[in-house]
Amino acid sequence: MQEEHHCKFKQYIWELPVRWCHWVNVLAIVVLAGTGVLIGNPVFIGSSPESYLMGWIRFIHFVFAYAFAVSVITRMIWTFTGNCFAGWREYFPFFGAAGRAEMKQVFDYYTFRSKHPPETVGHNPMAATAYFALFLVYWFMILTGFAMYAEHAPSGAMHTLLKPVYVLLTTQQMHLYHHLGMYLIFGFVINHVYSAWLMDIKEKGGEISSMFSGYKFTTGEYAVCKSRLWNFFPWNRK
């Protein structure tokens, strides 16, 4: 049987801010998880108390916590200023009939009821919904993390700003739920890497490489979807 060949169109999907935020998050999660485990289970290595090992580990944790928070905030801002593939509407596909239908197709493929995955240009609707839930976890980790950090200065601005967190959770609960949140993120990462690899193989659209280059390859040519900030840069103007 002759194999069917489809013409592939090169499409610019992921803009630079999206890719930067993705890789900053990856690095931050790895470092935060590693240093967070050590903070929860301190190690004592050094010839003298002046070695300050755990102090440096905490410092690294705080630096990457700030980087992670800035990255998450930047990505959220970009949902209102970036192209349609990065837009906030992408995270709520279930609000539209077409989105729900595509979600069913992706779900059928994931549950082995269909052998052919539907081609998606940006996020597939199942992944987009999972990303929305993931960002809620991100914000929980940011708020509880900075709330624990701010306890060293009860009269400070950060402590005052995070007062609702202290009302809802005790310090022990913040430590516990912050730790559990790390495992939720780990679970997502495992599924995310597997799904991206699977769809890259099945769709042959450059799913993984697109997060480096920004480009995917699709069987259909879609309308150009530019950022609202596209014309801000002179080299993009015609």
Domain ranges of the chain: 17-42+50-236
17-42+50-236 CATH, one of 3.20.20.70, 3.30.43.10, 3.90.1560.10, 1.20.950.20 = 1.20.950.20
pLDDT at 234 over 50: no
Return the sign of the alpha-carbon dihedral for residues 197, 191, 22, 56: negative
pLDDT at 236 over 60: no
Please tell me the predicted confidence (pLDDT) of residue 4. Answer: 45
225, 84 in Cβ contact below 8 A? yes
**Average pLDDT across the chain, whole number:** 86
pLDDT at 6 over 70: no
Please tell me the predicted confidence (pLDDT) of residue 238. Answer: 41
The residues with which 11 forms a beta bridge, in sequence order, are: 216
Closest CA to 139 of 225, 68, 56: 68
Q: Find the mean pLDDT for residues 194-216.
A: 87
Q: Find the mean pLDDT for residues 214-224.
A: 73
Please tell me the predicted confidence (pLDDT) of residue 229. Answer: 58
Closest CA to 39 of 27, 21, 53, 22: 53
Per-residue pLDDT tens over the stretch 21-44 = 999 999 999 999 999 999 988 877
Share of the chain above pLDDT 90, in %: 50
Q: Find the mean pLDDT for residues 118-140.
A: 90
Q: How far is CA 162 from the centre of its chain?
A: 23
Please tell me the predicted confidence (pLDDT) of residue 89. Answer: 87
**Higher per-residue pLDDT: 46 or 232:** 46
**Higher per-residue pLDDT: 7 or 70:** 70
**Higher per-residue pLDDT: 93 or 219:** 93
Please tell me the predicted confidence (pLDDT) of residue 102. Answer: 87
**Higher per-residue pLDDT: 64 or 205:** 64
Please state whether 224 falls in left (phi above 0), alpha (psi between -120 and 50) or beta: beta
**Higher per-residue pLDDT: 125 or 167:** 167
Q: What is the pTM (predicted TM-score) of this model?
A: 0.85
Please tell me the predicted confidence (pLDDT) of residue 235. Answer: 44
Please tell me the predicted confidence (pLDDT) of residue 227. Answer: 63
Q: Find the mean pLDDT for residues 114-135.
A: 86
